[in-house]
Structure 1
Amino acid sequence: MTSEGIELRHVTRIDEAWTTLIEVYAEVRADQLHQPHYSVERYGERLARHATEAGWEAVIGFDGAEPVGYAYVNTLLRDDRWWSRMATPLPEGCTDTSTVALKEIMVRVPWRGTGTALRIHDELLTHRQEEQVTLLVNPLAGNGKVKALYERWGYKEISTQQPAADGPVLTAMLRATRTIAEAAG
Structure 2
Amino acid sequence: MSVELRHHTDLTAAARQDLLDVYADVRAPLLHLANYRVGAFLERLDRHMTEPGFELVLGYDRDVPVGYAYGNTVDAGDPYWKRMAEPLPDGFTDTAVLAIREIGVRTPWRGTGTARRIHDELLAHRTEDRATLMVNPLAGDGKVQALYETWGYQAFNSQSSSPSSPRLTVMARAR
Report the TM-score when normalising by structure 2: 0.96
Q: Residues 30-66 of structure 1: CA distance to partner in whole angstroms, max 9, x if unpaired?
A: 1111111111111111111111111000111111000
Structure 2, unmatched stretches of 5+, are: none
Tell me what 1:109 maps to.
107
Q: Distance between the aligned counterparts of 1:91 and 1:174, measured in 2? A: 13
Q: CA deviation at 1:97?
A: 2.1
CA–CA separation in structure 2 for the residues paired with 1:146 and 1:92: 29
1:8 pairs, out of 5, 27, 49, with 5
- Whether the 8 Å contact between 2:75 and 2:95 is mirrored in structure 1 is no
Deviation at 1:92, TM superposition (A): 3.6
Give the number of aligned pairs.
174
Which of 54, 71, 87 is the matching residue for 2:85?
87
Query: Where do 5+ consecutive residues of structure 1 fail to align?
Result: 178-185
Residue pairs, 1:72-83, within 5 angstroms: 72-83=70-81
Mapped partners of 1:42, 1:88: distance in 2: 26
- Give the secondary structure class of the aligned counterpart of 1:34: coil
Residues in 1 aligned to 2:36 and 2:153: alpha-carbon distance in whole angstroms: 24
- Distance between the aligned counterparts of 2:33 and 2:148, measured in 1? 25
- Matching residue's letter, 1:108: R
TM-score (norm 1): 0.91
Who is 2:19 aligned against?
A: 21
> What's 1:51 paired with?
49
Which residue does the alignment assign to 1:130?
Answer: 128
Q: Would you say the 8 A contact 1:90–1:158 is kept in 2?
A: no
Name the % identity. 56
